């Protein structure tokens, strides 16, 4: 039987319990949706069916691109390498500023998705010489069963796995999921519960728990991203508190990315983030001891470069997402002073051109 004819597009989900009243409770995230037969959770893609829970998007993706790893963003995980990026439909958060709202809120999964078995994805990544595969565009937490099967297929071929996630996942599935992940960029969307409640329908506490878990109990390479939204999460006080917490709880070597907001989805009335806000956030983070701080969604060569935390030399220069300068030794040290740079590096940078290239998986079946 061919790989495509074996293809699965629906799967029995894990992490649920059957309630006394016959409803199925999903235990994957903080929402604990209780679902009658046929009903879908807030994320739309986990559905009660015959007193079980199914994942309706198993084996279906909304699209594939080969990206530079810097676009995730990850600046300390095989810089310059290509990553095969994909997502599915649905999300457990409802961020009013979502930049992928067309897929994260997609209800017409059948029309918008292409079939993609874990094996086909891993094989495609290998043929395209991608160092890693990224679960991105929407949160992989809601398609955890599919993501884990893809991760297994990738690891069998020596391909790394990357999760771009909000971190809103309960402790038990968190342990299983991140056991299959090599690097994560977690959104630390703000540092107030008010923001998470008002703009995302989420909660800060479970994100902070996930960050502490990742840092203290796993070997997953971790970077953080904060989209700075004017008037919502961009005060100096909030950035002070956030960056002090990061250094105290996660350590100075966790890179932070401050990225610019552009009006989108339900927040079209908010102006774009001024570049000086990003620069100020970067200065505050550096002053508080974060060693590697980046600005994103703007053209800012010094905010895109990696500097040695000890002597200040440029270790990795970048122009947008393209590596332009490389001053690390083969064992990841500063050529100038010998200080170690935290992260996962090959002895030379990858040679991906910094562009995003859409991929048709049918060409690789």
Chain contacts with ligand SF4 (rule: CB under 6 A): 26, 28-29, 31-33, 41-43, 46, 92, 142
Q: Which helix (H) or strand (E) segment is 53 a member of? A: strand 52-55
Closest CA to 68 of 279, 336, 352, 347: 352
**For residues 28 and 341, which CB has a smaller minimum distance to ligand SF4 in the complex?**
28
| Least distance CB 19 / ligand SF4 (angstroms) | 13
**For residues 203 and 336, which CB has a smaller minimum distance to ligand SF4 in the complex?**
203
**For residues 42 and 286, which CB has a smaller minimum distance to ligand SF4 in the complex?**
42
| Least distance CB 28 / ligand SF4 (angstroms) | 4
For residue 160, how many C-alpha atoms fall within 13 Å in the half-sphere facing its CB?
19
| Least distance CB 165 / ligand SF4 (angstroms) | 12
**For residues 25 and 336, which CB has a smaller minimum distance to ligand SF4 in the complex?**
25
Q: How far is CA 150 from CA 112, 120, 122, 154, 192, in A?
A: 20, 9, 7, 6, 34
Nearest-angstrom CA–CA distance, 271 and 267: 9
**For residues 76 and 174, which CB has a smaller minimum distance to ligand SF4 in the complex?**
174
| Least distance CB 48 / ligand SF4 (angstroms) | 9
Q: What is the C-alpha R_g of the chain?
A: 20
**For residues 43 and 246, which CB has a smaller minimum distance to ligand SF4 in the complex?**
43
DSSP helix/strand/coil, 84 = strand
| Least distance CB 203 / ligand SF4 (angstroms) | 12
**For residues 28 and 316, which CB has a smaller minimum distance to ligand SF4 in the complex?**
28
| Least distance CB 169 / ligand SF4 (angstroms) | 8
Nearest-angstrom CA–CA distance, 322 and 347: 17
Nearest-angstrom CA–CA distance, 20 and 202: 27
**Sign of the C-alpha dihedral, residues 218, 223, 229, 232?**
positive
Residue closest to ligand SF4, measured at CB: 41
| Least distance CB 153 / ligand SF4 (angstroms) | 23
Residues 6+ apart with CB under 8 A from 172: 15, 27
**For residues 142 and 162, which CB has a smaller minimum distance to ligand SF4 in the complex?**
142
| Least distance CB 32 / ligand SF4 (angstroms) | 5
Which residues are bridge partners to 165 per DSSP? 186
**For residues 42 and 298, which CB has a smaller minimum distance to ligand SF4 in the complex?**
42
CB of 211 closer than 8 Å to CB of 188: yes
| Least distance CB 40 / ligand SF4 (angstroms) | 7
- Residue 311 phi/psi, 5-degree rounding, is -105, -10
Q: Which helix (H) or strand (E) segment is 11 a member of? A: strand 11-12
> Cis omega (within 30 of 0) on the bond before 125?
no
- Residue 96 phi/psi, 5-degree rounding, is -70, -15
């Amino acid at each position: 039987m061919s790989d495509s004819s074996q293809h699965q597009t629906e799967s029995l989900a894990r992490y649920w319990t059957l309630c006394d009243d016959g409803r199925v409770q999903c235990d994957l995230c903080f929402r604990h949706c209780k679902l009658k037969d046929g009903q879908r959770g807030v994320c739309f893609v986990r559905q009660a069916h015959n007193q079980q829970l199914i994942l309706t998007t198993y084996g279906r993706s909304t699209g594939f691109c080969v990206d530079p790893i810097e676009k995730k963003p990850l600046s300390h995980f095989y810089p310059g390498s290509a990553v095969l990026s994909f997502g599915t439909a649905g999300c457990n958060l409802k961020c009013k500023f979502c930049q992928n709202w067309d897929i994260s809120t997609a209800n017409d999964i059948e029309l918008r998705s292409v079939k993609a078995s874990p094996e086909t994805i891993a094989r495609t990544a290998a043929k395209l010489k991608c160092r890693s595969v990224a679960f991105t565009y929407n949160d992989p937490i809601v398609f955890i069963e599919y993501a884990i099967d893809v991760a297994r297929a990738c690891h069998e071929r020596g391909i790394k796995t990357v999760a771009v996630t909000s971190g809103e996942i309960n402790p038990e599935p968190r342990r299983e999921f991140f056991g299959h992940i090599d690097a994560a960029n977690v959104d630390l969307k703000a540092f107030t519960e008010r923001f998470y409640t008002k703009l995302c329908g989420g909660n800060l506490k479970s994100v902070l728990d996930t960050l502490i878990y990742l840092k203290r109990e796993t070997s997953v390479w971790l970077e953080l991203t904060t989209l700075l939204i004017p008037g919502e999460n961009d005060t100096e006080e909030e950035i002070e508190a956030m960056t002090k917490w990061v250094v105290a709880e996660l350590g100075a070597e966790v890179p932070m990315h401050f990225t610019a907001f552009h009006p989108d989805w339900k927040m079209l009335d908010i102006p774009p983030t001024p570049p000086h806000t990003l620069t100020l956030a970067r200065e505050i983070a550096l002053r508080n001891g974060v060693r590697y701080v980046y600005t994103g969604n703007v053209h800012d060569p010094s905010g895109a470069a990696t500097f040695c935390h000890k002597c200040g030399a440029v270790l990795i220069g970048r122009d947008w997402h393209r590596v332009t300068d490389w001053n690390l030794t083969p064992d990841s040290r500063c050529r100038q002073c010998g200080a170690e740079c935290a992260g996962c590096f090959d002895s030379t940078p990858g040679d991906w051109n910094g562009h995003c290239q859409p991929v048709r998986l049918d060409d690789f079946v």
